């Protein structure tokens, strides 16, 4: 794709980044998600470590989980090619979004909580309206699985890491890759 610049070359693939996440719930406590290989996400009290909730989420392995900055929801990415959104207060599934043609490996909310990004082995990044869950666009440029996606804190850039050994930085509404 014209205009793309490789930021860094790696000998092996770039794997999902670990982003510790937690949110302050309505009762004032901290909750932390933990992925399990039994297709559940377990929420634990961040102060005591005690179980707060166990969410049966997907029919395959959950690959990534994230909260938006306001803590209002949870998003899970899965090998079943979907992203599921959950209400963080009620622990109810709000909706399932589908569109990838392979396992979804990473999911991230924009800081303004207006956009949800999902990365996949298909290899594409999809952007979704976080409120309506409608599909916005597909970002293509990696030649192999996209393993990680994250928004910048100013909401102007999106970074991705791939099995093609390149991280990419996407700018603005046109989603143009720049160095």
- Confidence band for 62, pLDDT divided at 50, 70 and 90: confident
pLDDT at 124 over 80: yes
Examine residue 127 and state whether it is found in any structural domain, yes or no: yes
- Kindly list the strands in the beta sheet with 167-171, ordered across the sheet, starting from the edge strand earlier in the chain: 146-151, 157-162, 167-171, 176-178
How many domains does the structure of the chain reveal? 1
Examine residue 10 and state whether it is found in any structural domain, yes or no: no
Selection from 82, 60, 59, 71 nearest residue 33 by Cα: 71
> What range defines the domain where residue 172 resides?
23-178
Sequence-ordered alpha helix ranges (H) in the chain: none
> What's the CATH number where 28 sits?
2.130.10.10
pLDDT at 141 over 60: yes
Residue 109, pLDDT score? 93
Across 112-136, average pLDDT: 93
For residue range 2-59, what is the model confidence (pLDDT) as tens digits? 333 333 333 333 333 334 444 444 334 444 444 445 555 666 565 666 665 666 654 5
Across 156-174, average pLDDT: 89
Please give the Cα distance from 75 to 67 (Å, whole number).
6
């Amino acid at each position: 794709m014209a205009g793309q610049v490789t930021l860094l070359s790696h000998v092996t693939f770039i794997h999902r980044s670990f982003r510790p996440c937690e949110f302050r719930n309505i009762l004032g406590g901290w909750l932390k998600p933990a992925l399990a290989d039994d297709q559940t996400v377990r929420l634990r009290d961040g102060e005591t470590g005690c179980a707060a909730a166990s969410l049966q989420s997907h029919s395959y392995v959950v690959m990534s989980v994230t909260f938006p900055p306001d803590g209002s929801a949870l998003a899970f990415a899965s090998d079943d090619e979907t992203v599921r959104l959950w209400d963080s207060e009620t622990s109810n599934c709000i909706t399932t979004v589908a569109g990838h043609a392979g396992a979804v490996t990473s999911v991230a909310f924009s800081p303004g909580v207006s956009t949800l990004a999902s990365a996949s082995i298909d290899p594409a990044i999809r952007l979704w309206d976080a409120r309506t869950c409608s599909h916005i666009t597909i970002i293509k440029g990696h030649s192999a699985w996209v393993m990680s996606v994250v928004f910048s804190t100013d909401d102007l850039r999106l970074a991705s890491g791939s099995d093609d050994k390149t991280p990419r930085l996407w700018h603005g509404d046109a989603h143009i890759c720049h160095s």
